[in-house]
Amino acid sequence: MAITPPPYRADHVGSLLRPSALKAARKQAQEGKIGPDELKAIEDEAIKGAIKLQQDAGLKAVTDGEFRRAWWHFDFMGMLDGLDIIQREGGGIQFHGVVTKADVPVITDRLDFPDNHPMLEHFRFVAANTAVTPKISIPGPSCVHFRVAAEDVEVKAYRDDIELYFSDIAKTYNKAVKAFYAAGCRYLQMDDIFFAYLCDPKIRAAKKEAGIDPDWLIGKYAWMMHEAIADRPDDMLIGMHMCRGNFKSTWVAEGAYDPAADAIFNQTGVDIYFMEYDTDRAGGLEPLRLLPKGKKRVLPGFITTKVPDLEPLEDLKRKFELAGKYADLDQLGIAPQCGFASTEEGNNVTEDDQKRKLDLVVRTAEAIWGEV
């Protein structure tokens, strides 16, 4: 059966709750009790189960659940040439009421995307084990800049020339896009959440205090994304996820998309937008009016992954009626607000909650558009 190409009405961001057996195996590997080959075999079987979960829900695009990762972004970043992830006391990321483990990204040399980046093989494994469209979610270009503190940029050329720094990030990602295409990827998602972070008044104020204009930074982040994907082949779609933090069901930022909406929709060149919209922290739907007419698609995240409560279908229909006042309903779809496990710890929901949420995504799409 031929696979219908994306975009789809029903989709999800990418990460899934790690099964208990996989969590145990990864802990054993860290403690040296099992080797990498044994861990990979356990990961492989868990990923096959995750693919089946997504396919059984009726989704037409599936991921590996990010089961081979500890973080949604640091694993990918640490596999780049010129960037290392180190452990440092006090180096965790502060969320509301909780702090992550103390992994810290450090730039030690000029950035580049290696030909043997492990996530190319991660994608190939999904592609070899699914009957639908394989997708991989990777951190977007802005992550390399936003998540690396100025004092952790050890390359003098980057400290002296911020434009060179941005240019090298863009070139690194451009090379990554080409490599994933060569690996067979036709649906690549980049999680570029810092567009949403830079809409938070407190974060904007902190950037200004550091001497950085947050609006200028939004523009540079849009430029990096655009340069990274500008010359991709016509049959490769690029998705972009935006949220305000997702760790153990907590969050970091708040604020409507307004300061970044024009850059997001009209400067990045992205095809599909996964936008967090599960709480008032995301603001109103008015920024959707800036979505240009045509083939671009927004998947508003009205379904949360942070709590187990299942959103009533009628409430979701009403939210789409409102969204339709600002953007053509034909340019909309549905996805959860974020992943279920942006880090290996996962959100405070169960695997049954996760299944019910994915089923709801599909039922919502079928109810509104008559298709998935």
Q: What is the pLDDT of residues 203-212, one digit of tens each?
A: 999 999 999 9
Place 292 in a pLDDT band, splitting at 50, 70 and 90: very high
- Whether 1 maps to a domain, the answer reads no
User: In the prediction, which pLDDT does 241 show?
Assistant: 97
Q: What is the mean pLDDT of the chain?
A: 95
Tell me the pLDDT tens digit for each residue of 183-225.
Answer: 999 999 999 999 999 999 999 999 999 999 999 999 999 999 9
The pLDDT, as a whole number, for residue 94 is: 63
Q: What CATH number does the domain containing 246 carry?
A: 3.20.20.210
122-132 in b/e burial notation, b at 16+ Cβ within 10 A?
Answer: bbbbbbebbeb
Model confidence at 303, in pLDDT bands (50, 70, 90)?
very high
Say if pTM beats, i.e. exceeds, 0.85: yes
Answer yes or no: is 254 within a domain.
yes
- Residue appearing with tokens 């998602």: 189
Report how many domains make up the chain: 1
Domain contains 113: yes
Alpha-helix residue ranges (DSSP H) falling in the chain: 20-30, 36-57, 74-78, 118-128, 141-146, 156-160, 162-182, 194-197, 201-209, 214-229, 258-266, 313-323, 351-369
Instruction: Give the integer Cα–Cα distance in Å for 218 and 142.
Output: 9
Query: Mean pLDDT across the stretch 240-251?
Result: 87
Is residue 223 in a domain? yes
Q: Which pLDDT does position 72 carry in this prediction?
A: 87
Domain holding 82, by residue range, is 20-369
- Is position 176 within any domain? yes
What confidence category does residue 273 fall into, taking pLDDT thresholds of 50, 70 and 90?
A: very high
- What are 3-49's pLDDT values in tens digits? 889 999 999 999 999 999 999 999 999 999 999 999 999 999 999 99
- Answer yes or no: is 261 within a domain: yes
In a domain, 135, yes or no: yes
84-143, pLDDT tens digit by residue?
999 887 767 666 666 666 789 999 999 999 999 999 999 999 999 999 999 999 999 999
Specify the pLDDT at position 1.
56
| Predicted local confidence at residue 71, as pLDDT | 86
Residue 5 lies in a domain: no
